[in-house]
Structure 1
């Protein structure tokens, strides 16, 4: 398996936050309940943005900045 990218549409949120823990602040800033959620191993950025009504492109940019990528 190749190196996972933060913006991979198939990357589960739990894996994203595990690999790039500084992104947790972005989820918290948006008052998202994804951190520690039992569904985070199954949800992706796409799912979270749809659930919370966020612009996916803007949200990914925020995550990338937080992760230093």
Structure 2
């Protein structure tokens, strides 16, 4: 992926909305933004290859980390 993501601030966009738009942008490159629930108030996640998404969600679950395409 060589194209940078350009964040444009929109009125009253929540962080989950911003991350959802980022995920939509990533999808065109075969990537997804995977949300991680690390039990804090932070928004944490990783960019993963779409083809490995289910595998990474399963591995995170084994490690006791909730992972989802949806924000927690």
TM (norm. structure 1) is 0.28
More helix by share: 1
Structure with the larger RCO, 1 or 2 (CA within 8 Å, 6+ apart): 1
More strand by share: 2
TM (norm. structure 2) is 0.27
Instruction: Decide which structure has the larger Cα Rg and report it.
Output: 2
